[in-house]
Amino acid sequence: MTPLQALVTLPVLLPMLGAATSVVVSRRASAQRVIGVVTLTLVCVVAAVLLVAADANGPVVAELGGWSAPMGIVLVADRMSALLLLISTVVTLAVLVYAIDQRISDYGRETASTTFHPIFLLLSTGVSLAYLTGDLFTLFVAFEIMLASSYVLITRRTSASRIRSGMTYVIVSLTSSLLFLTAVGLVYAATGTVNLADLAGRMGALPEGLRAVLALVLIVVFGIKAAIVPLHFWLPDSYPNAPAPVTALFAGLLTKVGIYALLRTQTLVFPQDSPSTLLLVIAAVTMVVGALGAVAQDDLNRLLSFLLVSHIGFMVFGLALHTPDGIAGTGLYVVHHITVQATLFLVSGLITRRTGTVSISQMGGLAQRAPHLAVLFAIPAITLAGLPPTSGFVAKLALLQAGAGAGPAGALVAAVVVLASLLTLYAVARVWVRVFWGAPKEPLADDDPNDELVVGTARSARGMYVGASALVVVSVAIALFAGPLSGVTARAGVDLHDRTGYTDAVLGPGADPGSGGTISAGGRPGGVDGNATVRTAAGETPEVTP
């Protein structure tokens, strides 16, 4: 394994080791904070290196345990996975900075935690593994790491009513996990493999009806995790009840991992040469239902949750086109939305902390009392609405161009994109008018001082503003560097649509996806004589005889 290939394992290993170290030093709060920040900073650096390498030379593959694909577990960093890994880790780091200063402000500088910091890093481990894994079963493991971590984060130091809301999230997640494991078993029973590159060849040999059933099951599984309509019902009741850093992390990352899984499987395992009618309908309905739900809300966090659902539809739309331009548009929109949605939830936490309420109708005049907070809300709000020259405008323009070039069905859903964008603009404008304009109102008292949501303080710690401001800067940077970023996502769209580069990197140049191999009595992959061919990091194919 070359040094570059070894780097692919670090985004998974570093947070895992950081979590373990954080448990060891659980009595020293300052050490936990340093470990978390340093670990995520290193992962950001590694992700940036992997993105540059993948963009320049193609996917970087690490074969774990010395076993080559398709029998062994592989981690793959291609353009799309490395890009999403980088932006996700940047957001995770900013959220951690926000959370650290919030905890210092609420509990004191010397108060450590045996759960928050380790679980936070474990969640980052699961996200990294989901982006980098090259097989379905390891993807299932990654989701379970994320979900187990999120169960803890969403129910820490909270009230009975919020635990009841969190139970909806837990039950739905467990149900989707059971369905996912069932889907993995069905795929393996039908094809004899769970390696994604190998499935790219084997799935085509199955009867059309069986392929359709397997594709539909995985759409349902990842649709639940991504919160597409009508599988979104759990999200508006679960996310608003968690502390702001937790909600921001979930909104920015967890649903996008579901979109990434959908993107990877639908392009690599179930490719199509024409737009998917089912996904186009799902995308249109998700956009409209989410936007209308947001318009009807008085709870700020529920409004943002419904907007999150609506904009998941934008990402599904690009995928549904099954064209390089559509896939590139989805990738660009995911990058933009990860940053902006997390920022809005962090800013919502700052607003709630000052006002003591999440009710929009009970707020007012914040622009006079906290003009810096008004700016922090305004920039991501207009970015989410897609006003030029923001990153949201660039991403939506890419989707609209892809839709217009994909035939009448694509053009029709592109019109829905415009409608949903207008509804988003109306929703965030209503928040601006009611929360920031008008006569200032006195903050309300904290109705539950014992939970982790400290509100009604009329102030916030400086580090919380630093974390939110950092994400605003990132979203502005995405707009400023939209040209190079669009180039990366365009090349990633071609890669995902073509599939050859990915399968060649994982299985070897010129390999026949789906040829796989058998398992000998000795337990090694190989032919009837038990011999195995193993592709090394240098590309040699030495014969290994047990």
pLDDT digits (tens, 9 = 90+) for 201-231: 888 888 999 999 999 999 999 999 998 998 8
pLDDT at residue 518 is higher than 60: no
Q: Tokens at residue 191, please?
A: 């094809």
Q: Encode pLDDT of 49-101 as tens digits.
A: 999 999 999 899 988 887 777 888 899 999 999 999 999 999 999 999 998 88
Using alpha carbons, list the distances in angstroms from residue 389 to 311, 393, 476: 19, 6, 9
In three-state secondary structure terms, 74 is strand
C-beta separation of 127 from 92 below 8 A: yes
What average pLDDT does range 377-394 have in this prediction? 92
Q: Which pLDDT score is estimated for 112?
A: 64
Cis upstream peptide for 70 (omega within 30°): yes
In three-state secondary structure terms, 133 is strand
Helix crossing, 371-385 with 462-480: angle to 10°?
A: 30
CA dihedral 276, 282, 283, 286 (to 10 degrees): 180
For residue 360, which of 240, 264, 223, 197 has the smallest C-alpha distance? Answer: 240
Query: What is the pTM assigned to this prediction?
Result: 0.88
For residue 531, which of 517, 511, 513 has the smallest C-alpha distance? Answer: 517
Average pLDDT, the chain: 85
pLDDT at residue 240 is higher than 60: yes
- Tell me the C-alpha distance between 300 and 358, whole Å: 5
Q: Which pLDDT score is estimated for 449?
A: 54
- Which residues have a Cβ under 8 Å from the Cβ of 423 and sit 6 or more positions away? 288, 291, 292, 294, 295, 310
Range of lowest pLDDT (99-103, 178-182, 388-392): 99-103
Which has the higher per-residue pLDDT, 240 or 333? 333
Q: Which pLDDT score is estimated for 457?
A: 55
What average pLDDT does range 125-149 have in this prediction? 93
For residue 283, which of 262, 302, 268, 300 has the smallest C-alpha distance? Answer: 262
Burial of 371 (C-beta count, 10 Å sphere; 0-12/13-18/19+): exposed
- Tell me the C-alpha distance between 348 and 302, whole Å: 11
Which has the higher per-residue pLDDT, 208 or 520? 208
Q: Which pLDDT score is estimated for 121?
A: 94
| Residue 102: pLDDT band with limits 50, 70, 90 | confident
Q: In 8-115, which ranges are continuous DSSP H helix? A: 10-24, 29-57, 79-107
- Which letter does DSSP use for residue 250 in this model? I
pLDDT at residue 538 is higher than 70: no
pLDDT at residue 140 is higher than 80: yes
How many beta carbons lie within 10 A of that of residue 78, not counting itself?
27
Cis upstream peptide for 389 (omega within 30°): yes
pLDDT at residue 444 is higher than 90: no
What average pLDDT does range 146-157 have in this prediction? 83
- Tell me the C-alpha distance between 120 and 126, whole Å: 10
Q: Which pLDDT score is estimated for 309?
A: 94
Q: Tokens at residue 431, please?
A: 């928040």
Q: Which pLDDT score is estimated for 214?
A: 93
Q: Which pLDDT score is estimated for 521?
A: 29
Q: Which pLDDT score is estimated for 68?
A: 79
- Tell me the C-alpha distance between 36 and 469, whole Å: 19
- Tell me the C-alpha distance between 327 and 144, whole Å: 27
Q: Encode pLDDT of 183-206 as tens digits.
A: 999 999 999 899 999 998 888 888
pLDDT at residue 448 is higher than 60: no
What average pLDDT does range 342-350 have in this prediction? 92
pLDDT above 70 covers what percent of the chain? 87
- Which residues have a Cβ under 8 Å from the Cβ of 453 and sit 6 or more positions away? 158, 243, 244, 352, 446
Chain centre distance of CA 9: 19
